[in-house]
Amino acid sequence: MTVSRRECGGRVANLGGGGNRGFSLVELLTVLAIVMVLMTAMGGLWGGSGSRALEPAVRIARAVEFARAQAVARNRSVAIRFDWIDNRELAMRFLWLRPGASTTEVVELRRAERLRNMLISPKLVPAGPAAGLPSHALAADESLVISADGQVYVGTGSRGFPVVGDELLPLIYLGVQPTRDGRVVSAEKRDVAIVQVQCATGTARVMQP
């Protein structure tokens, strides 16, 4: 059987020798495009690429890992504090104390990261993730304090270095939700991401309720 060059260039050759024709390159690309569109749509339904809360939650989880590494390397506690710039923006600040400094003389470990149109609230954390374990849902006016041995505590106070309690909880949760100019719109009320911090190890991961 002889197949012309013109036929091979336009269609995938039908090697079976039957009467059914092959698929053209355009038809194959069309099918692939439809599959990709369907996969993207399904990912949005599952809270994947369509989630506005996911990216800042990942940034917070990475910030915890960074602060833990710095605390262990410097043998000094590092705090992550969330300060409101205005009702639409939070600043995630990294604080530590130089040797011999007082609790009111803090140093910025690095430039603060800004979280625009994001809400951090303990009300966003459901009871399910912490079922059976003592835990704490972090509020926007509370801090994460990572000790020199890499453990994470809850800190309080808006000035100076956060005041740390003695209790080491198993888990700390941060609930993150997007806003529109400081307000939660009805279409995004379910767009919530949770940052789970393992206090004993200082590790963090992102989960969705």
- pLDDT digit string, tens, across residues 37-89: 666 544 444 444 478 889 999 999 999 999 999 999 999 999 999 998 887 88
In this prediction, residue 84 carries a pLDDT of: 86
Q: Which residues on neighbouring strands pair with residue 135, listed in sequence order? A: 171
- 3-state class of 81 per DSSP? strand
Structure tokens at 99: 């040797």
DSSP 9-74: HHB---TT-SS----BHHHHHHHHHHHHHHHHHHHHHTTSTT-SSHHHHHHHHHHHHHHHHHHHHH
Residues 59, 41 share a domain: no
Of the given ranges (17-26, 36-45, 117-126, 180-189), which has the lowest mean pLDDT?
A: 36-45
Residues 82, 17 share a domain: no
Residues 62, 91 share a domain: yes
Residues 193, 91 share a domain: yes
Burial zone of 13 (CB within 10 Å; 0-12 exposed, 13-18 middle, 19+ buried): exposed
**Domain of 18, in residue numbers:** 5-45
- pLDDT digit string, tens, across residues 154-203: 999 988 889 998 889 999 999 998 888 778 888 778 899 999 999 999 99
CATH, residue 126: 3.55.40
Residues 107, 11 share a domain: no
Residues 143, 91 share a domain: yes
Burial zone of 119 (CB within 10 Å; 0-12 exposed, 13-18 middle, 19+ buried): buried
pLDDT category at 31 given cuts 50, 70, 90 is confident
Residues 79, 161 share a domain: yes
Q: How many domains does the chain have?
A: 2
Residues 85, 60 share a domain: yes
Residues 164, 122 share a domain: yes
Q: What's the farthest any 2 CA atoms get from each other in the chain?
A: 90
Residues 35, 73 share a domain: no
Residues 91, 142 share a domain: yes
